[in-house]
Structure 1
């Protein structure tokens, strides 16, 4: 059952700050149904205990969202989070290309090439010809007393 809190909602000091366990617990409690099951806000299915979940930003940080408890929700790691992230990335790419087209910014279609490495000194020979170690017949060694 979800319980009410009188404390202030958590807001991160920076975007890379880890989400505290107490905040994760509050998010899961907020998304519980009457039967006490946590519901994925993306697909509407139950997130079972032990199932991998992601704490996702409803408004992405890249789009100006805040890294806070109010902007976080629990969703399935796969496929919900993967699908949502891919859709957001596609929408951002489209918006950037439309912005560039409207403002006359041309994007380079060709690959940038570097000056490359300086040419190596020519090799005189890569391998030496094989020379025999012994000339003549191989004989057993005589041991002298």
Structure 2
């Protein structure tokens, strides 16, 4: 019977997890990638990367319960999804707060009150 180990919590969002914590995470996952692909971690010398399930940029905490081990390709996919989600949320927040600046219309585009004919003549829409 092993003794219970206190959960690691980073002092800041940038505090990296110690090696002992990373080892506990990999052992808890039985050496399998946490994304669901079923691949073995570290197979063929591939680096093991650690990712926050709830991304820090989306309000997740820097603690052991929020970390998981992934293969590099799986981690890249997850990070791209997190960044895209953060972008959507930032746009929604800015629009809600009235900070969204509408894009200026390009001359001759459908968003302007002027239309340019093939002949080069500019006329009102």
Length-normalised TM-score, structure 1: 0.63
Q: Distance in 2 between matches of 1:53 and 1:7?
A: 23
4+ residue runs over 6 A deviation: none
1:14-93 matches, cutoff 5 A: 14-32=12-30, 38-42=31-35, 43-49=37-43, 50-77=45-72, 79-93=73-87
Please tell me the root mean square deviation across aligned C-alpha atoms, in Å.
2.0
Which has the larger displacement, 43-52 or 91-100? Answer: 43-52
In our comparison, the structure showing a higher alpha carbon Rg is 1
Could you tell me which runs of 5 or more consecutive residues in structure 1 were left unpaired when the two chains were aligned.
33-37, 111-145
Aligned positions, number: 102
SS at match of 1:46: coil
Q: Distance in 1 between matches of 2:15 and 2:55?
A: 15
Could you tell me which runs of 5 or more consecutive residues in structure 2 were left unpaired when the two chains were aligned.
105-125
TM-superposed CA distance for 1:95, in Å, is 1.3
Q: For the structure 1 residues 89 and 109, does the alpha-carbon distance in structure 2 shift closer, same or farther, using more than 3 Å as the test? A: same
